[in-house]
Structure 1
Amino acid sequence: MSSSSPSWTERVLVRDDVRLTCRDWGGSGPDALLLHGLAGHSGEWDALARLLQDAGHRVVALDQRGHGRSERLPADVSRAAYVADAVAVVEELGLVRPLLIGQSLGGHTALLTAAAHPGLPRALVLVEAGPGEPEPGLPEQIGGWLRAWPVPFPSREAAVAYLGNGRRAVGEGWADGLEERDGGLWPRFDPDVMERSLDENARREFWAEWAAVACPGLVVLGEGGIIGGEQYAEMVRVRPGLHGVGLPGAGHDVHLERPELLGGLILDFLRQQGL
């Protein structure tokens, strides 16, 4: 348990020799499982987790494999491995039909989990995430960006300034995922692992999986994010009951920039769905 976050407890489980850690915020339900994006960490969800907890939810945020305090160098970083980890957390921690919330690649994992296990989620919330389209150069592009970070950062303030790129809340959220060692602040991930985690997304799209999602869905998009208008329109065409909200002024890290608004949107969506 972190002294700065006294409301959650660290849970650790092992699946196929891979250590997975979670922030378990407790509560009596209904349950929610939160999945961060590529190169992220479970602490990105702290503000939203508190809001959901205050609204009566039991909230668990997972450090996905290769991230945070989970296994740093897993051999398997396939989309199926990420999905199996999410299912293992649900089963091991006794979550009952959880609300699945994911941002970016974590949203993609949530989508695939809902598609492969239609009886598992109560509802699905995608934050800046969707079925996507093949992007052949994406892994190398993202890997190059991560390797270009000027690490170690000499101070938290330097990390916030660089990682936020003018967006203070984003910089704070990313800086929270760094670890202090050898006189500086370092990422809790390996760029090669992050690059390999995008291999399948570079090769193919996932529209068949999107069509297989059976639960109610909410999509929250930032301005100028990774989900363009054409892709969102196709998401609605495939699943006409989809709820969507765009947030002008917020970027890709909507959950860091506007957590209160995001929480309100999610709770309103759940009420509208009778969930």
Structure 2
Amino acid sequence: MQDNNETRVSGAANNPDKQEIMAAGSGMPRVEEAHFHQFPGARPPDRQRSVNSGGLALAVYEWGDADAPPLLLVHGALDFARTFDVFAPLLADAGYRVVSYDHRGHGDSEHAALYSWTADERDMLAVADSISRPPFIAIGHSKGGSMLAHSIQALPHRFSRFVAIDGLPFRSPHSDATLRERKSMTADVITGWLDHRRATGSLARKPGSLEELAQRRARMNPRLSHEWLCYLASQGARQDVDGWRWKIDPALRPGGFGTHRSRWMTDRLPGFPIPMLALFGTVREPMGWDVKPADLMPYFAPSTQVEVVQDTGHFIHIERPQQTAALVCDFLKT
């Protein structure tokens, strides 16, 4: 992949009714069921390109007019940019150039030898550099929101407004640095991480049908419909000779390792430098931060707008895309 190599996403290769794939073990092409590649309101990106981040190629996607005001969407851990296929077009239709990308090791971005929060933030800023030098809007879901919050606190001149979709982490109750280190850098935590790294050289994700991949994903996303999860699998998996596999690097796993602390963000929230919209759901989920608005209200700056979307889980923008887009657009107009 070449730096800033842009392609138009169109044609039979992206038409689910015309996609041909090889039947596993048969050597003969078969037409994949169209319903796996379609979902009401989902729209593929208008453009696709790549950005070079320290020698690693990141897949970048865009919806909307290329001359419209830019808006960066950052996905969460173990996700990819095409999870925004319903939400992003709503923002594009509202008049924005919506840009998202696959994190390293996710989707169609290249895999890396090692992964870290700092590397993820460098990648995000490389994509930001490719979008606009003047400040622009940024929206992050889950880990993507936390990455943006941390980056905006360090580089407030790069962004104009920020939306966190269940994207702010919990605040550790341990004020003493030694206690924090003891909690997250214990011998068993370090041993587990090293054992996992040692095994990744021979790891491969378990193959299956798109339906099976959707069923596995449902364990982490129990509130999302099976139809959506099947669509998600069709966009985030590849087909090998023995079945479909998620593209996510098997070296990645939930949970952090290293020196990053959520407290470093939350302690600085009172002085957050730009207007923020913080969206929260109400239902606890496996992939969520498990943070309630009341936990962070004492730390929010006066310019922060807080909205609670009732009867939603961690993936607010997927459960309620129109409502989420309306809240975002109203915030951006104020």
Q: What RMSD in Å do the two structures reach over aligned CA positions?
A: 3.0
In 1, Cα distance between equivalents of 2:329 and 2:251: 37
In 2, Cα distance between equivalents of 1:20 and 1:213: 29
Name the structure 2 match of 1:255.
317
Q: How many residues align?
A: 263
In structure 1, list runs of 5 or more residues that go unmatched: none
| Residues 209, 68 of structure 1: alpha-carbon distance in 2 compared, 3 angstrom cutoff | farther
Contact preservation (8 Å) 1:73, 1:193: no
Name the structure 1 match of 2:47.
9
Alpha-carbon distance, 1:264 to partner: 0.8
Name the structure 2 match of 1:42.
81
| Residues 7, 23 of structure 1: alpha-carbon distance in 2 compared, 3 angstrom cutoff | closer
SS state at 2:326 partner: helix
In structure 2, list runs of 5 or more residues that go unmatched: 1-8, 16-42, 173-182
Name the structure 2 match of 1:111.
149
Tell me the TM-score normalized by structure 2.
0.70
Contact preservation (8 Å) 2:137, 2:160: yes
Name the structure 2 match of 1:183.
242
Contact preservation (8 Å) 2:64, 2:93: no
Q: Which range moved further: 259-268 or 91-100?
A: 91-100
| Residues 74, 259 of structure 1: alpha-carbon distance in 2 compared, 3 angstrom cutoff | farther
Name the structure 1 match of 2:298.
237
Name the structure 1 match of 2:291.
228
| Residues 178, 244 of structure 1: alpha-carbon distance in 2 compared, 3 angstrom cutoff | same
Contact preservation (8 Å) 1:34, 1:61: yes
In 2, Cα distance between equivalents of 1:103 and 1:198: 17
Contact preservation (8 Å) 1:97, 1:120: yes
| Residues 203, 54 of structure 1: alpha-carbon distance in 2 compared, 3 angstrom cutoff | closer
Contact preservation (8 Å) 1:65, 1:74: no
Instruction: State yes or no: 1:162 paired with 2:223.
Output: no
Q: Which of 266, 280, 301 is 1:207 aligned to?
A: 266
Q: Could you report, residue by residue, the CA deviation over 1:238-272 in whole angstroms, capped at 9, with x for unpaired residues?
A: 2233111222222111222211111111011112x
The structure that has the greater radius of gyration is: 2
In 2, Cα distance between equivalents of 1:150 and 1:129: 27
Instruction: State yes or no: 1:198 paired with 2:256.
Output: yes
In 2, Cα distance between equivalents of 1:83 and 1:209: 18
Instruction: State yes or no: 1:82 paired with 2:102.
Output: no
In 1, Cα distance between equivalents of 2:189 and 2:160: 32
Alpha-carbon distance, 1:106 to partner: 1.0
Name the structure 1 match of 2:160.
122
Which runs of structure 1 show a deviation greater than 4 angstroms over 4 or more consecutive aligned residues? 4-7, 137-141, 200-204
Aligned partner letter, 1:156: L
Q: Could you report, residue by residue, the CA deviation over 1:185-217 in whole angstroms, capped at 9, with x for unpaired residues?
A: 21212243335x722487552324534531111
Tell me the TM-score normalized by structure 1.
0.83
In 2, Cα distance between equivalents of 1:67 and 1:189: 5
Q: Which of 139, 154, 164 is 1:101 aligned to?
A: 139
Alpha-carbon distance, 1:56 to partner: 0.6
